[in-house]
Structure 1
Amino acid sequence: MLRFDPKGPRKNDLSSWRPDVVQIWSIGEFRANWATASDTRVGYTAGGAIAFLDVTDGTLLRSSIIESNSAATGGGILCEGSSPHIVGCEIARNGAGFGAGIRSEGGAPLIQDCSIVSNQGVVYSAEGAGGGIASGSGGLVVSRCIIADNYGADTGGGIFLWPESRAHIVQCLITGNDTCWCGTFGSGGGIMCHSDFATITNSTIADNSACISGDGIEISGSPTITNCVVWNRIYVRRGNPRITYTLTKHPRSGEGNIVADPRFRGGGDYRLQALECGGPGISPAIDAGHPGVEDADLSCDWGLGGSRSDMGAFGGDGAGIRCNPCIQVFGIPEMVEYGDVLNPVILATNLGTFDALVAVVTGPIDTTIPLYRGPPIDVAPGDSVVLERELRIVPSIPAGLYRCDVDATLRGEFVSRGVFETILQDD
């Protein structure tokens, strides 16, 4: 296995790796490894192929195959207290009790343009959760990924999110995942979500299975789901999920939600039907997303109809696919209260070079919050960086509607902007 650890020795001779600078690794093929307890500082077998331990520099792993590796947790990749960028990788046929493909705990990893397929979350020490991905805590971003045909024996065939997870799932296709153990366990075939902080945006969740409940999504928290197509059942065990502008198989309360056949193109193609693209009909999910979001492109491969966002994984602003440049902010609810501690995750894509990031807040009071100021960061075309910050809502702030412009600059010159709004409620 490869071990990226600034606090201890590494299993392999990676003499060129330094924990203080951003690195780019293209490992190639990495297969058939089994982690032992001596490989990590966590005291149990973790990170079958690769373990990132307290790596916060944005080290980039790209264009690699992580296949047929095993561990108790993080069968393919373990991210512990780390924020690597895992881009354009195939993570397949790995096995673990928790997070067979990827296990994330702390930090703010970015997983982008990856195929996470056919991983096996087997029962190990009373676990068997998160066949594709398991997130325990931290600001994980999963963007433009295919999460398919994974298996979680107990729960979370595709993705498993613990209560402290602040995962943000954007423009992902989640299909063909399964959870079932001896006919007595098996909940959340596509996603099992215990988190109040997670967001699922412009994603398609379809044709997943669970032998007990929630073949699409099972919820025991209050995540935010927007602009999605969920052609499976959503089962709310407890919590108060915020579901809006989403096509579902069964009625769900929430602004902009619809119940209808999404009219996929079929044959494993989950893009939406459109007459102009040779389809026999028109999907009701076209131009049905949030009116404040526009499709990044209009073509048979992406947005259809007019500029208003489509629902599902092939609509919306593209999470950086074609935005040039763009800044997106996740993890800010529409309503906040005094005493809340927010952990916004900022995804910056195609920015070129910037050396400062500030939040310009306007509302009942105006203020500027520095988010980053330091050495220039270069974001090449098609690449992204993730930054995570903590914001506390203190009683001295007046209640009301606040707008926040997150501006990236280079030597004081404007580069790009991301915008969000939230309402601070008065007790």
Structure 2
Amino acid sequence: MTEQTQQQKAIIVGVQLQTQTDFAYSMEELRNLAAACYIDVAGELSQKAARVNPSHYIGTGKIQELLALAEAHDAQVVIFNDELSPSQIRNLESSLERTVIDRTILILDIFAERAKTREAQLQVEVARLQYMLPRLVGLRESLGRQGGGAGLKNRGAGETKLELDRRRIEERITALQAELEKLVARRQIQRKQRQKNEVPVVCLVGYTNTGKSSLMNALMEYYNPLTTKQVFAQDMLFATLETSVRSIDLPDNKTFLLTDTVGFVSQLPHHLVKAFRSTLEEVAEADLLVHVVDYAHADYEQLIAVTNATLKELGADHIPTIYAYNKCDLTEHPYPRIEENNVYLSAKEKSGLLELTELIRGQIFDDFVACEILIPFSEGRLVSYFNEHGHVLETSYEPEGTRLKLECKAADYDRYRNDFVVLQAETPVDVLVRGRQPFREEF
């Protein structure tokens, strides 16, 4: 970002509708979005109304008040809390003679700044171009800020230029989507391969900046201390824009894949949801969701509601979910602690990781059998197999063969059932999944 961009001052504007209960939070979030774009919010203007003004977003009587506020603070940018129509942008810039930005442009700017992988960059550019296409006339300097051109209001040659710009943008979108489809196809192949391997997939979801990436790194450090595959984690909005998948290997030979996903935000632009849908498919196909919540946030319940609404839009609201209340070190709530399907923890302090793993175990490893078997010496290969793919608790040798007390997948138990003698068995393993007592007392 340039020095000039960092020093930009802006006024934020919002309309509170009669049915809107989260308006104050929404405006505070708009401030945070502006700060993420290195814009200094110098003032705020709001209006209560039954509906948004179709021509100027706010009532025309408020325009002069907004203009005076912008002049008083020497603000050359005005940011609106909702997505503006092309005519609203055109009318507002004409009346205010200032750069007009809406919430969608702010989020698109942040995504463009954060995108690192080729797929994320393509997704962001497609979303930006789709947003710009109907707004070529109205965006003027706002469009220039997005790296496009200036909309022209005159007819004749200007109108020809406008049509040329439209065609170029449409051609660019087509080219980008073709390249994106190749990357998506490659990832779908990888996903199908993981499904074929029958490794459970656990997906971290939640609002942006709740600590999903930090939690993923903490789990990797705990269970795979020699790993060098940490994901990028930083205290800022939308630090993660690409899906990262890591294998978590537990001490008892159980393995699951942990997926880190892009964070959500209220009023996430539909262009972005559409562009990132292929990435977010990881969420819809997970076996378990871990909904990470910033428990130290004053409006954490609102963050949960926004995330749940987004999950419903993605068709992922039916997937079993664990709620991980993070950042408890900044609250008075005791931690680590499990309360039903909720776990209170601190990724920063790496406290509560065992408790979270305990809940995850109970959800995704319910297809394991706790058993005691006798393997004939002629089937010695099974001893090696179960040592590698199961969790062997005790091994002893008898005249008839090798006696194992173990936990293994139900599929493995059924596959080799005719090759060993069953001494004891229990399924489902509602005790062993807690990772402590693999057999009930009668065993």
The alignment's TM-score, normalised by the length of structure 2, stands at: 0.25
Judging by fraction of residues, say which structure has more strand: 1
Q: Which has the higher contact order (CA 8 A, sep 6+)?
A: 2
The alignment's TM-score, normalised by the length of structure 1, stands at: 0.26
